[in-house]
Structure 1
Amino acid sequence: MRKFLLLIVFIIPVLVQGQTQPKREVIGRDIGQLKNIRISGRLIDEITGDALIGATVTVPEINLTRITDNNGGFELILDRAEYNLEFRYVGYETVLYPITAVGDGRISIRMIQEDFQLDDVVIFGRDPEKNIRSTDMGAITLSMNSIKELPPFLGEVDIIRSMATLPGVSQVGEAAAGLNVRGGGADQNLIQFAGAPIYNPTHLFGLFTSFNADVVNDVTLYKSVIPTRFGGRGSSILDILPKAGSIDRWGGDLMLSNYSGKIGINGPLVKEKVSIRGGFRGSYINWFLGALSNPDLNTSSANFYDGNLVISAPISDKNEFTYSYYTSYDDFAFASDTTISWKNNSHSLQWKSRLSDKLSLDALGYYTQYDYGIFNRSGINDFDLNSGIVDFGAKVFAMYQISETNKVTFGGEFKDVTLQPGELIPTDEQESGLLPKKVQDEFGRESAVHFQHEFELGEKIGVSYGLRYDMYQYFGPRTVRQYAENQPISDGSAISETTYGDGEKITSYDGLGPRGSIRYSLSKSSSIKAGYNKMYQFIHLISNTATIAPTDVWKLSDEFLKPQIVDQYSLGFYNNFKGNIFETSIEVYYKDIQNVVDYKDGANLILQNHLETELIPASGRAYGVEMFVKKNLGRLTGWISYTYSRSLRRVITPYEEEIINDGDWYSSNFDKPHDLTLIGNYKVSTNTSVSATFGYSTGRPVTFPEAKFDYSGNNLAYFNRRNEQRLPDFHRLDLAINFKLKGEGKFFDGDWTFSVLNVYARKNPFSLFFVDQEGSPPQALRLAVLGVPLPSLSYSIKF
């Protein structure tokens, strides 16, 4: 383990009319001091006792705002005086709390969920002026209360698909796993839950997100200038924070739909000291497959489940421990003979500590395992094909608050990654004739140190700058080929091999990643920001399909496959109107990508011990403009997101047979120039709302055969230039109606949700395939995942 030298939220919630008198629990001490009076406290739900994470605490008299932490806690440093504290959280009544600060003390605030007032409904979940005043660019936080306003997908709130409604974020199509952010591949996004990386965040090949929304507090996507504490991916960081349980009382929730169900429970293990929250979700979707007319599908089966456990121990005002466990499992048996399965398991343990008035520490350790495989039981050449990833590491960073507008963060991290790219195990070697085969395991280590400084120069200028130093080592045991010079890397040009022992270093890379942004305020409601970001990525998804699949191979950087290096430049204008009712922004960006992976024609990626023979080094670039308009207040709320972008690749090597499209720039598999999303939520009455989502995008690039020819009695397709054609444009409308049933007393609170996906039955093509017909050109056939309207009904209660 390497020793590091330390060098160095979705809220303003709800502007609702009304207030309530909180229960006071004040502990006074040091009576009589005049300055630096510390007032700490905690916000919880009046009914469930849940911590309210990301709520705003405002002191209007001195224009001071604080955001509650993962335990609902906050701290204010005040002078001796009278103040009127304001507490706000999305979906809750605003609390006004007058205090006279004469000495240090602690308060507990219990907030009540509001009945939506028709004239004053707010769905923003952070300080509404944060987009103007902060130096953040491309950082978007959505609370679960806001995500739940969107039409559900098959009866469930979908975190990943919710992100795809934002500007600069897209998916390649229906039932697509992963995200494409600002022209990057799905592997260029680090998705982490409670600080632990998750390698396949989907159920049923992307039809469901594998995160239970009831165990999630909020989700933050960083896609422009990424804080230096994050690294290892080229495009974005999706940071998903779990929700802690109540330390006050027991409660739970239950949801049933026609495709899946889930249950959760939470409460105090030790009252006021230790809480626990657990959630489990499972599917019963086989009845739906059995009702389909396709004989291959109605004899198939699909199953998934996921589970979460969060134990939080705020043992004092200054120290908190949180343990989080996450697991998910999928299997899909196609036509009852071939089963594909994948499984995630992750553990994380976090310690947060306030070491002094100005210095705080955050340390986290994690362990993640991802396994995936194919199991063939057709009776002919039965086999098991297994692969997996083990990733474990630790992170630590500290924050020193020099003043209200001046802070420094610094820290370090390391991780060890082990890849098992593939192992073929014949069920009966003698009968099948298949021979067992195991691809060599891979071993890598990443480490980094980083610091970031954020400060303001007067009222108009804000600056954030930082530096991250990434280091990477690739280890044995491994046998590595050497290839002849002045020849393409191939099996035929291999001339020798070198064997490295256990733990012996094979190669290493490092690099400095500067990041920075500057904000200039034109007025209280508008600002201009510019930023630069450099990222290094040492792990790659080796797949020549457009979306993540369980059978894809992950590959570490080695002496042939260099790390991806991404430089991004951003410029944005941000403006709020009518007292922050309307929030608008426009951002332009340009990305330069080095060492991106592309593939030789006809590349064989399965059980390949020497993948370098199938890969080609490529360059990439992406650019675009993102426009965003959001309405936060009123009966009708929602947003419009439009992105024009291009994602391009180019391959030029010394060998003519490796050059793609004559060395010209060509579209990547996920290049979709136009992407438009319309989101609307209309409050019909206090307990009824209607929501709609409409999406349109350019069809993704594909390569069609241009001719066919006969070779030794076989008809073969002829392909010329890569990704020169496109699928038809994508568009779809989804609708949902939500009914809220208020229970008697405080026992339960029920919600009915009826939704229809693909309302007008658009047959959006997920892919095209070709059927050869004698005497005529190959015939193109369209595969649509959702070709008909798909209704769902769900009911959820809290208890």
Structure 2
Amino acid sequence: MKKTLPYIFLFLIFVSGELFAQQKNIVGRDIGQLKDIKISGRLIDQISGDPLVGATVTVRELNKTEITNTNGTFNLVLDRADYILEIRYVGYETVIYPFVAVGDGRISLTMIQEDFTLDDVVIYGRDPEKNIRSTDMGAISVSMNTLKELPPFLGEVDIIRSLATLPGVSQVGEASSGLNVRGGGADQNLILFAGAPIYNPSHLFGLFTAFNPDVVNDFVLYKAIIPTKFGGRGSSILDIAPKSGSLDKWGGDMMVGTVSGKLSVNGPVIKDKLSAKIGFRGSYINWLLGAMNNPDLRSSQANFNDVNGILYGEINENHNVTYSFYRSYDDFALASDTTISWTNMSHTVRYQGKFSERLATDVVGYYSKYDFSIFNKSGINNFDLESGITDVGLRLNFTYALGENNRVSFGGDTKNITIRPGELIPGTSEGESTILPKKVQDEFARESGFYLQHELEFGQKIGVSYGIRYDMYQYYGPRTVKEYAPNLPLNEGNVIGERTYASGETIQTYDGWGPRASLRYSLDSKTSIKAGYNKMYQFIHLVSNTATIAPTDVWKLSDQFFKPQIVDQYSLGIYKNLKGNIFETSIEVYYKEIDNVLEYKDGARLLLQQNLETEIVPGQGQAYGVEVYVKKNLGRTTGWASYTYSRSLRRVITPFEEEIINDGEWFASNFDKPHDLTLIGNYKLATNASISATFSYSTGRPVSFPEAKFDFAGNSLAFFKERNTQRIPDFHRLDLSLNFKLKGNTKFHDGDWTFAVMNVYGRKNPFSVFFADQAGSPPQSYILAILGVPFPTLSYSLKF
């Protein structure tokens, strides 16, 4: 028997080898091809059929890695041989796919989500060393699977708030919409959804983000070196990619929470050719307001909803077309007869084509509209105040690969923008209304740009990305423009006439070159140093006397009085991965100069102002800071810590003393917060449960306090000496959440439960400061806190 054991052992090895060989997949039609075999593949979620974007596909034998695109596809060029694909995607089980390449062909693979595995295995949603080897600086790419590990806000994950946990990105406080990136205003961020600009990314004044996470595939925030294909904003670009539906089978997602719910379904309209995805989200928060002790809140109402529709058509493996529709709606009435509402709507058509292994194109056409209104139904003085913005644009991008690490991108874009600053329409009521109709002139402009960018590597040590963008801007009629006396301040008393421009007649033009470049030097495979310079032009301004985006804010185009904002940014950083990419660390410093930033004059009247040049003055901006980031990718405990020290300053000096602010000295912007710290941790309790926590701290934002009061025309008015010299109390808050998965006999019992508590220790963080008159003393300040108590939420979600 002992003599036969070696033979049995050899036989088992032979049989297992044969079985392994039989498991290999044959790809392509065998016509004797030996070289340049083209393999295309597509990755989808096994349950929902959704494409998986940003997965890493590695050919083990060649140590070659590709990243799946927005449709979940990847492309390989191989010689005839045996290969093994290793496919990784964050939150999903790793797929090992052995195959034999015998000719041009296609691979279709599915991946299934991991079930809170406790094994010490890193599953990356991207190349784990991309932060080291890439020339990108300040580019933050986040998948929705990563986002789901954060504590939810009011029952669901939030795109905008998740970005505010990263270094260099902040918000002014709770219930605030928009982002402040590296000392820039909220208007200096271009938010693109499926390629279309979105002007108000919030529900309920910032309590929710206006994007349904179930229809978002991933998003990228560029905050340092912005690719030359993007223009029009000074601080950052947030590019949100929607999720297309499955070409294979129907499925969907559902969530029921404490204050909102959502449902999305997707599947093939024509199998393997055309898919559809529809998502809806709505609120039912009024029951919560009705349960409040505060009588003002009990008599208030708030509603929001958003809907998405996506059609994805695959012409062939190299060409596809996507149509995206998006609409969000809000209305809000706080214990009054006045209702505030706003709507975002966009249509986008996108064509992506690959003409050869070297040349690819991406074409986007869009229509975007933002409407805002205030409706008052108090009786005799009913009125409707309406305003809005419309964008219609086209963007054309080409990419040409000169070599494996040598790529050129070029293209251009153009758009027409119309701003309706405001129209006051008296309502119909019994008796004589004291409200008179008024309409501020509409504004029209055309914004265009051409760009070129070159990315290449010199060996393993040096990587370079450089390019240039040429921006052109035309401000045109119809419009009637006031003319003012020369060498005098712009005010109503110095008007000497006016000029009327016909429809389409050019009033003012601006143009400029925007060079951008970044350099990466790798000290070793785990450490690199990067430096970069970025120049941006911004032709639209947000005129506001608040720190956050509000529906009553006024958007203003550059004209002969207001030049475009010009932003120059310099960045330097060191990046290092530790312990086999378990830890990612980085330190970045930056300095930013801003020309022609707008500041309001003391006592400015902005709403329904026909001539804003009499209320606004141009100034200078300056921002600088240090950003520290540490992230742990592996193990039972994961998370990150980010700390930012930054300053955002403004200065206004003009030839006229009455327009100078703070005696011409630098003063803090409305969103200047020197210290900003965020700690995030996620701990896996078991194979089906995890707990996460987020702690945030930041310096209180600047505020102006009145120093005295005086009587004018029978009214008591506050006197402000200097702007933004005091601060509200510091902000800090702790959020906790518990996520657990239940197993059931049916899909509807097999879902995720999330219990979260916001503001665990009940911190009354100030949202705003207001002042009230008090006899015998200056106006007294009071603080309004939106969330001053612990707020628990419960939500249930499932895939079907």
TM-score by length of 2: 0.96
Moved more, 283-292 or 454-463: 283-292
Q: Does the 8 A contact of 1:22 with 1:97 survive in 2?
A: no
Q: Deviations over 1:620-666 (max 9, x none)?
A: 01000000000001110000000000000000000001111111110
Q: 2:652 maps to what in 1?
A: 651
Q: Give the deviation of 1:380 after TM superposition.
A: 4.3
Q: How many residues are aligned here?
A: 780
Which structure has the greater CA radius of gyration? Answer: 2
Note the 1:595-744 alignment, pairs <5 A. 595-711=596-712, 714-744=715-745
**C-alpha separation in 2, matches of 1:560 and 1:220:** 34
> SS at the partner of 2:357?
coil
Question: Aligned pair 1:526/2:527, yes or no?
Answer: yes
> SS at the partner of 2:315?
coil
> SS at the partner of 2:550?
coil
Q: Does the 8 A contact of 2:23 with 2:98 survive in 1?
A: no
Q: Give the deviation of 1:30 after TM superposition.
A: 6.2
After superposition, the Cα gap between the structure-2 partners of 1:31 and 1:420, relative to the gap in structure 1 and judged at 3 Å, is same
Q: 1:159 maps to what in 2?
A: 159
Moved more, 74-83 or 479-488: 74-83
> SS at the partner of 1:431?
coil
Q: Deviations over 1:163-190 (max 9, x none)?
A: 1001000000100010000000000000
**C-alpha separation in 1, matches of 2:237 and 2:163:** 12
Q: Deviations over 1:556-590 (max 9, x none)?
A: 11000110000000000000001100000000000
Q: Deviations over 1:573-624 (max 9, x none)?
A: 0000011000000000000000001010011011111111100010001000
**C-alpha separation in 2, matches of 1:117 and 1:691:** 16
**C-alpha separation in 2, matches of 1:23 and 1:513:** 54
Q: 1:296 maps to what in 2?
A: 296
Q: Give the deviation of 1:78 after TM superposition.
A: 1.7
Q: Deviations over 1:741-796 (max 9, x none)?
A: 23447676311111111000000111122222212343221110111111111011
Q: Give the deviation of 1:21 after TM superposition.
A: 12
The letter of the residue matching 1:240 is I
Q: Give the deviation of 1:52 after TM superposition.
A: 1.2
Q: Does the 8 A contact of 2:205 with 2:550 survive in 1?
A: yes
**C-alpha separation in 2, matches of 1:594 and 1:713:** 41
Q: 1:337 maps to what in 2?
A: 337
Note the 1:133-148 alignment, pairs <5 A. 133-148=133-148
The letter of the residue matching 1:459 is Q
Q: 1:589 maps to what in 2?
A: 590
TM-score by length of 1: 0.96
After superposition, the Cα gap between the structure-2 partners of 1:289 and 1:655, relative to the gap in structure 1 and judged at 3 Å, is same
The letter of the residue matching 1:552 is D
Q: Give the deviation of 1:322 after TM superposition.
A: 0.4
Moved more, 386-395 or 79-88: 79-88
**C-alpha separation in 1, matches of 2:123 and 2:260:** 27
**C-alpha separation in 1, matches of 2:432 and 2:24:** 76
Q: Does the 8 A contact of 2:88 with 2:124 survive in 1?
A: no
Q: Does the 8 A contact of 2:27 with 2:102 survive in 1?
A: no
> SS at the partner of 1:161?
helix
**C-alpha separation in 2, matches of 1:600 and 1:698:** 26
> SS at the partner of 2:613?
helix
Q: Give the deviation of 1:23 after TM superposition.
A: 9.5
**C-alpha separation in 2, matches of 1:380 and 1:121:** 69
Q: Does the 8 A contact of 2:456 with 2:463 survive in 1?
A: yes
Q: Does the 8 A contact of 2:383 with 2:426 survive in 1?
A: yes
Question: Aligned pair 1:237/2:234, yes or no?
Answer: no
Q: Give the deviation of 1:83 after TM superposition.
A: 2.2
> SS at the partner of 1:432?
coil
> SS at the partner of 1:357?
coil
Q: Does the 8 A contact of 1:132 with 1:575 survive in 2?
A: yes
State the percentage of identical aligned residues. Answer: 70
Q: 2:74 maps to what in 1?
A: 74
Q: Does the 8 A contact of 1:472 with 1:538 survive in 2?
A: yes
Q: 2:426 maps to what in 1?
A: 426
Q: Does the 8 A contact of 2:281 with 2:307 survive in 1?
A: yes
The letter of the residue matching 2:168 is G
Q: 1:467 maps to what in 2?
A: 468
Q: Give the deviation of 1:60 after TM superposition.
A: 2.8
After superposition, the Cα gap between the structure-2 partners of 1:226 and 1:748, relative to the gap in structure 1 and judged at 3 Å, is farther
Q: 1:195 maps to what in 2?
A: 195
After superposition, the Cα gap between the structure-2 partners of 1:632 and 1:21, relative to the gap in structure 1 and judged at 3 Å, is farther
Q: 2:515 maps to what in 1?
A: 514
Moved more, 116-125 or 549-558: 116-125
Question: Aligned pair 1:357/2:357, yes or no?
Answer: yes
Q: Give the deviation of 1:98 after TM superposition.
A: 2.1
Q: 2:209 maps to what in 1?
A: 209
Q: Does the 8 A contact of 1:121 with 1:635 survive in 2?
A: no
Q: 1:391 maps to what in 2?
A: 391
The letter of the residue matching 1:527 is S
**C-alpha separation in 2, matches of 1:421 and 1:692:** 42
Q: 2:9 maps to what in 1?
A: none
After superposition, the Cα gap between the structure-2 partners of 1:381 and 1:23, relative to the gap in structure 1 and judged at 3 Å, is farther
Q: Does the 8 A contact of 1:47 with 1:746 survive in 2?
A: no
Q: 1:578 maps to what in 2?
A: 579
Give the unaligned 5+ runs of structure 1: 1-19
Q: Give the deviation of 1:542 after TM superposition.
A: 1.1
Q: 2:6 maps to what in 1?
A: none
The letter of the residue matching 2:653 is I
> SS at the partner of 1:62?
coil
After superposition, the Cα gap between the structure-2 partners of 1:646 and 1:295, relative to the gap in structure 1 and judged at 3 Å, is same
Q: Deviations over 1:180-235 (max 9, x none)?
A: 00000000000010000001010000000010000000011000000011111000
Q: Give the deviation of 1:24 after TM superposition.
A: 8.2
Question: Aligned pair 1:796/2:797, yes or no?
Answer: yes
**C-alpha separation in 2, matches of 1:738 and 1:385:** 44
**C-alpha separation in 1, matches of 2:615 and 2:421:** 15
Q: Does the 8 A contact of 2:26 with 2:99 survive in 1?
A: no
Q: Give the deviation of 1:706 after TM superposition.
A: 1.2
Q: Deviations over 1:439-468 (max 9, x none)?
A: 000000001110110000111000000110
Q: Give the deviation of 1:512 after TM superposition.
A: 0.4
Give the unaligned 5+ runs of structure 2: 1-19
Q: Deviations over 1:313-352 (max 9, x none)?
A: 1120111000000000000012140000000110000000
**C-alpha separation in 2, matches of 1:277 and 1:758:** 35
Q: Deviations over 1:77-134 (max 9, x none)?
A: 1233332211111111111122333322211112222222213264642111000000
Q: 1:8 maps to what in 2?
A: none
Q: Does the 8 A contact of 2:369 with 2:388 survive in 1?
A: yes
Q: 2:558 maps to what in 1?
A: 557
Q: 1:546 maps to what in 2?
A: 547
Q: 2:500 maps to what in 1?
A: 499
Q: Give the deviation of 1:483 after TM superposition.
A: 0.6
After superposition, the Cα gap between the structure-2 partners of 1:46 and 1:640, relative to the gap in structure 1 and judged at 3 Å, is same
Q: Deviations over 1:480-510 (max 9, x none)?
A: 1111111110111111100000111111100
Q: 2:273 maps to what in 1?
A: 273
Moved more, 415-424 or 285-294: 285-294
Q: Does the 8 A contact of 1:53 with 1:71 survive in 2?
A: yes
Q: Does the 8 A contact of 1:31 with 1:104 survive in 2?
A: no
Q: 1:5 maps to what in 2?
A: none
Q: 1:287 maps to what in 2?
A: 287
